[in-house]
Amino acid sequence: MKKPKYTLPIEREENIKISKPMDTAVGVTAVTSSFANGFGQMDWIRCSKAFLNLNQTKGFDCPSCAWPDPKPSGRSSIAEYCENGAKAVAEEATDARVTPEFFAKHSIEEMNTWSERKLGKTGRITEPMILRKGASHYEPISWDDAFTHIAKKLNELASPDEAVFYTSGRTSNEAAFLYQLFVRQFGTNNLPDCSNMCHEATGKGLSKTIGIGKGTVKLEDFYVADLIMVIGQNPGTNHPRMLSALQKAKRKGAKIITVNPLEETAFKKFKNPQEIRGWIGGGTQISDLFLQVKVKGDIALLKAIMCVLLEMEEANPGTVFNQAFIEQQTEGFDALIADLKTQDKWILADAAGIPIGDIEAAAALIRDHKRMLICWAMGITQHENGVQNVQEIVNLLLLRGSIGIPGAGACPVRGHSNVQGDRTMGIWEHLKPALKEKLETNFNFEAPSAVGYNAVQAIQAMHENKVRVFFSMGGNLLLAAPDTEYTADGMRNCDLTVMVSTKPNRNHLVTGKEAIILPCLGRTELDVQDAGNQFVSVENSMGIVHKSEGVLTPASDHLLSEPMIVAKLASATLGNKTKTDWLTLGGNYDLIRAKIEACIAGFDNYNERVRRKGGFYLPNGPREQKFTTADGKAHFTVNPVPDNTLKAGELLMTTIRSHDQFNTTIYGDDDRYRGIANGRRVAMMNEEDMQAAGVQQGDYIDLYSHFNQVERMAPHFMVVKYNIPKGSIATYFPEANVLVPIDQYDKKSYTPASKSVVVTVKKVEVV
């Protein structure tokens, strides 16, 4: 058989080291590791300045995750950042530079042999660059020529819908608002974003049931909660500052239930590096009850818990369900109960892979604790039944009336630091009628009404030659998307791909026939415009909008800010068709904020309130039990249990993040908490599945997926014996994305099923 040619370099990693997963998260090693990371990449003055200004009232918002700051009235605690935030800052504030000379020296072909880690470590891009048709190397281009060129290509399209404008969730409110405004004035709603592959299922599931697409809790709710469930989330790695909140909750007496196929280190013990006792003490045990669910077993588990709660309620009526709340505030209770009565808790327990005794223990904890708060992330959303998973969580909260009261509610934990804000600003393939009307009256144009492409549809349209220009405001769609080879072919089909980026990534190397890189300022950097020093604003995972102001000297004199890039592009593309004074807006972000205030609810006195310490909170009805659904009620839903049966030899694969990466940016090759070092092409397998497949730890396997009769293959993964349920297997994102089928997604939200792909494995015989 002919060996397939891969888009990404595939190294056979020979020196992978496996040790026991760690029992304690954060602690001293993590802190030393932050400093090692910073000092390795920056000179020490720059490094200290960066770290001293991270998450401070006058400094910049951490460019890593969206977890809120613990001191809303004034972010002042020294070192209010975590190890992984420090890595993100070091990555952006690095001293390394990617100059035109660098691009002249290294061809696309050569750079395509480098790993993601090596690509990212090359440094900050200093000038706009163009890859001309058929050329082997990027060459410099002036900003003006770049904008003229892109504008010409956009204006030559047969329809504005032949262009796609992607956004990654680090983009500020100001840049995001201008960007969607430009795209809509240009004439399309093709605004896919990283959220389409992330919390889209959360947005859909929550909007339908409670009337708002976001969570209902604030940080202070953690400190008065009686019971916290953490489902499908690995906070030790992805939201490390959440561990301080969980620790504080525990010290105040809360119980914690964790639900995950892997017993992540954070669930065991946590030592808080910000307190003396964190350095010397034994640490806080986080999880009281760990439910080791099978991959995609969450609905079965939640239903089994609700069946047991129903039994308890029937035995002692009025003691388990919050009848008053259910009667006054909800719809659909009878249908839910009717469905639960058709279920068999033993069959459900088996489908979830959890002993019935543990399910009963979870139900008893829920019955005995009034204020319940449920957190979740990608383990819940990235499945074909992602929306239903979210709705099942809502069912449990509603049964207990645990929503809209202090210490209780829904807490989807967001990913990128401003992904929630981007949505609030209108980055979405849907243009809601209210925003459409506001944009039209404030900017004097007719906005398109047709729904645009989401991420999956955009890639499919590229394949069908319906997309000629792909423009990307940050991010790395090629590697973030499912089905890497399919997505790569789609990118190559475009005439022009344009990336607004800080650092090189694979999407600069697998491109349309022509490609342009527009290098932008990072969040850590000073942003000086005609109107003086500018700051931007972001919305965290809990709906608080606050400012972020860079302090470091920009990586190069040639960089433009993201708002200015949008302004110049809009001005070049729209010419005299627009009635918006783009360049004035781009030069003074107070003016952009005034426009946001005019168009988007909740931003009254934006310029004044955003300057207050700690920022301001956006309106959230369900937080006060005012459900914003059409009928003003919260809705129970009936969600079927997904069929998880596997044929002999099949395994259900979930793709997860290591401790050394931020999405497609790979900081290093270690996953310290899980005890894996020097490599990322690993497959974490259950011992019995290893025996059935005839493999041992250290063997290499090829992985295959077979969705809709299409075979996809990912070669050379090293087998790691891991504590994971039988039938489940875990690999890292983005290495395993080649296996995730583009057409396997949640039909309600289009979220790719990157946490449940059926695979088979084949041992690689060493010759």
Ligand X SMILES: Nc1nc2c(c(=O)[nH]1)N[C@H]1C(S)=C(S)[C@@H](COP(=O)(O)OP(=O)(O)OC[C@H]3O[C@@H](n4cnc5c(=O)[nH]c(N)nc54)[C@H](O)[C@@H]3O)O[C@H]1N2
Task: Report the distance separating Cα 87 and Cα 612, nearest Å.
Answer: 28
Find the Cα–Cα–Cα–Cα dihedral 66, 67, 70, 72, rounded to 10°.
40
Of residues 89 and 447, the one with the C-beta less far from ligand X: 89
* Structure-block tokens of residue 200: 């889209």
Give the nearer residue to ligand X in terms of CB position, either 138 or 733: 733
Whether the Cβ atoms of residue 587 and residue 169 lie closer than 8 Å to each other: no
**Nearest alpha carbon to residue 87 among 500, 732, 480, 668:** 668
Q: Which of 759, 758, 757, 755 is nearest to 233 (CA)?
A: 755
User: Containing H/E element for 647?
Assistant: none
We find the least distance from the C-beta atom of residue 415 to Mo ion, in angstroms, to be 3
What is d(CA 699, CA 681) in angstroms, rounded to the nearest whole number? 12
Q: Which residues pair with 528 in a beta bridge?
A: 533
Interactions with ligand X, residue window 407-466 (CB under 6 A): 415-416
Judged by CB under 5 A, the stretch of 197-205, 474-482, 539-547, 712-720 that binds Mo ion is 197-205
Task: CB nearer to Mo ion: give 103 or 376.
Answer: 376
Q: Which does residue 304 touch among Mo ion, ligand X, none (CB within 5 to 8 A, set by kind)? A: none
| Strand pairing category for 124-125 and 97-98 | parallel
Question: What, of ligand X, Mo ion, none, does residue 523 touch, CB below 5 to 8 Å by kind?
Answer: ligand X
**Minimum separation from the CB atom of position 617 to Mo ion (A):** 23
Q: Supply 61's token pair.
A: 């918002």
Helix axes 173-186, 589-599, angle to 10 degrees: 70
Region from 10-18, 150-158, 222-230, 413-421 binding Mo ion, contact rule CB under 5 A: 413-421
Nearer to ligand X, 440 or 743 (CB): 743
Query: Per-residue x/- marks for ligand X, 92-111, CB under 6 A?
Result: --------------------
Q: Which of these segments, 23-31, 190-198, 510-518, 554-562, binds Mo ion (CB under 5 A)?
A: 190-198
Instruction: Report H helices in 523-627.
Output: 562-574, 582-586, 589-599, 606-609
Q: In angstroms, what is the minimal distance from the CB of 297 to ligand X?
A: 7
Residues in 271-310 at the binding interface with ligand X, rule: CB under 6 A? 293, 295-296, 298
Q: What span, in angstroms and rounded, lies between the C-alpha atoms of 170 and 370?
A: 36
For position 500 contacting ligand X by CB under 6 A, the verdict is yes
Q: Which of 21, 235, 415, 554 binds Mo ion (CB under 5 A)?
A: 415
Q: Which amino acid appears at position 260 of this protein?
A: N
Give whichever of 21 and 415 is closer to Mo ion, judged by the CB atom.
415
Stretch that binds ligand X, among 457-465, 475-483, 601-609, 619-627 (CB under 6 A): 475-483
Contact 385, 639 (CB under 8 A): yes
Stretch touching ligand X by CB under 6 A, among 3-11, 13-21, 253-261, 312-320: 253-261
Residue 712 interacts, among ligand X, Mo ion, none and using kind-specific CB cut-offs from 5 to 8 Å, with: none
Q: Of 546, 565, 584, 206, which is closest to residue 395 (Cα–Cα)?
A: 206
For residue 120, state whether it binds Mo ion (rule: CB under 5 A). no
- Please, which residue, 264 or 699, has the CB nearer to ligand X? 264
- Contact indicator for 160, 134 with CB cutoff of 8 Å: no
User: What is the rounded distance in angstroms from the CA atom of residue 467 to the CA atom of residue 380?
Assistant: 31
What are the φ and ψ backbone dihedral angles of 231, each rounded to 5 degrees?
A: -115, 125
- Please pick, from the candidates 25, 50, 181, 198, the single residue that binds ligand X as defined by CB under 6 A: 198
Nearer to ligand X, 176 or 600 (CB): 176
* Closest listed residue to residue 546, CA positions, set 19, 153, 50, 57: 57
Q: Does 593 bind ligand X (CB under 6 A)?
A: no
Q: Which stretch binds ligand X (CB under 6 A): 94-102, 540-548, 601-609, 733-741?
A: 733-741
Indicate whether 37 belongs to the interface with ligand X (CB under 6 A).
no
* Geometric angle at alpha carbon 123, from 119 and 125, rounded to 5°: 100
Q: Name the nearest CA neighbour of 386 among 643, 637, 747, 759.
A: 747
Per-residue contact flags (x/-) with Mo ion for residues 426 to 455, judged by CB under 5 A:
------------------------------
Nearest residue (CB) to ligand X, 175 versus 634: 175
- Partnered with residue 656 across adjacent β-strands are 732
Q: Six-digit token pair at 758?
A: 């059926």
Distance CA(739)–CA(100), nearest Å, equals: 35
Does residue 680 interact with ligand X by CB under 6 A?
no
Indicate whether 386 belongs to the interface with Mo ion (CB under 5 A). no
Among 225, 377, 600, 719, binds ligand X (CB under 6 A): 377
CA distances from 756 to 32, 205, 453 (A): 36, 19, 24
> Do the Cβ atoms of 499 and 507 come closer than 8 Å?
yes
Q: Which stretch binds ligand X (CB under 6 A): 163-171, 317-325, 337-345, 618-626?
A: 163-171
Is residue 475 a contact residue for ligand X (CB under 6 A)? yes
SS3 715: strand
- Phi/psi at 758 (5° precision): -75, 125
Cβ distance to ligand X smaller for residue 258 or 580: 258
Q: Is 471 in the site for ligand X (CB under 6 A)?
A: no
Distance between CA atoms of 720 and 223, rounded to whole angstroms? 38
Query: By CB under 6 A, is residue 42 in contact with ligand X?
Result: no
Residue 198 interacts with Mo ion (CB under 5 A): yes or no: yes
Q: Which amino acid is at 191?
A: L
Q: 628 has which bridge partners? A: none
Give the span between the Cα atoms of 541 and 272, in whole angstroms. Answer: 22
Q: Which is nearer to ligand X, 188 or 265 (CB)?
A: 265
Looking at the Cβ atoms of 719 and 738, the one nearer to ligand X is: 738
Using rule CB under 6 A, residue 196 touches ligand X: no
Residue 50-69 contact track with ligand X, rule CB under 6 A, x = bound: --------------xx----
- Regarding 755 and contact with ligand X (CB under 6 A), the answer is yes
The footprint of ligand X (CB under 6 A) covers: 64-65, 84, 168-170, 194, 197-198, 231-234, 237-239, 259-262, 264, 293, 295-296, 298, 377-379, 382, 415-416, 473-477, 480, 500-503, 505, 520, 522-523, 562, 654-657, 661-665, 733, 737, 740, 754-755
The footprint of Mo ion (CB under 5 A) covers: 198, 415
